C-alpha cells in the first residue's frame, strides 16, 4: 500500500485544559500518512482516483475551526474518524503536535494509527 503524505500542516484551534486556553486560538502542527493505492491515479494522471491532499487539508482546517477540545488526544481521535469517513481512507497515521505547551520542549503531542492494515 502506498501513502499520501501531508507534513507540518499548521491549523489554529481552541485546545487546552486550562481556562485561559479556552479563550484563545493555538497552533497545532499535523503530519499525516494516508494509505491508498496510487497506481490508478498514476496510470491516468487523474486526481479523482487518488486522495486529494488539498481537499483533505482544507477539511482539516475546517475541522479545527469548528471544534474546541481540552485534549490533543481527543482532537486526534475525532479528526481521524472524520477523515476516514469523509474520504474513505482505510488506514491513516496522524501526528498532532502542540508547540510551546511545555517550556523546555519544542512541542508535545500524540501519534495515532487507525484503520485496517491493507
From the candidates 98, 101, 106, 111, give the one annotated as an active-site residue: 98
Say which residues have a Cβ less than 8 Å from residue 45's Cβ, sequence separation at least 6. Answer: none
104-to-16, 24, 51, 69, 73 alpha-carbon distances in Å:
18, 22, 37, 24, 21
Could you tell me if 62 and 30 are in contact, meaning their C-beta atoms sit under 8 angstroms apart?
A: no
Q: What share of the chain is helix, strand, coil (3-state, %, to 5)?
A: 35, 40, 25
Known catalytic residue at 49: no
Helices 72-87 and 53-66: angle between axes, nearest 10 degrees? 140
List residues with catalytic annotation.
98
Amino acid at each position: 500500500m502506498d501513502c499520501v503524505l501531508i507534513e507540518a500542516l499548521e491549523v489554529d484551534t481552541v485546545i487546552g485544559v486550562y481556562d485561559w486556553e479556552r479563550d484563545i486560538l493555538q497552533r497545532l502542527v499535523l503530519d499525516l500518512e494516508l494509505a491508498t493505492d496510487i497506481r490508478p491515479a498514476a496510470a491516468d494522471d487523474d486526481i479523482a482516483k487518488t486522495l486529494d491532499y488539498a481537499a483533505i487539508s482544507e477539511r482539516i482546517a475546517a475541522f479545527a475551526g469548528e471544534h474546541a477540545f481540552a485534549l490533543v488526544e481527543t482532537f486526534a481521535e475525532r479528526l481521524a474518524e472524520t477523515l476516514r469517513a469523509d474520504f474513505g481512507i482505510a488506514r491513516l497515521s496522524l501526528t498532532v503536535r502542540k508547540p510551546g505547551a511545555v517550556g523546555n520542549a519544542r512541542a508535545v503531542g500524540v501519534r495515532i494509527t487507525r484503520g485496517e492494515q491493507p
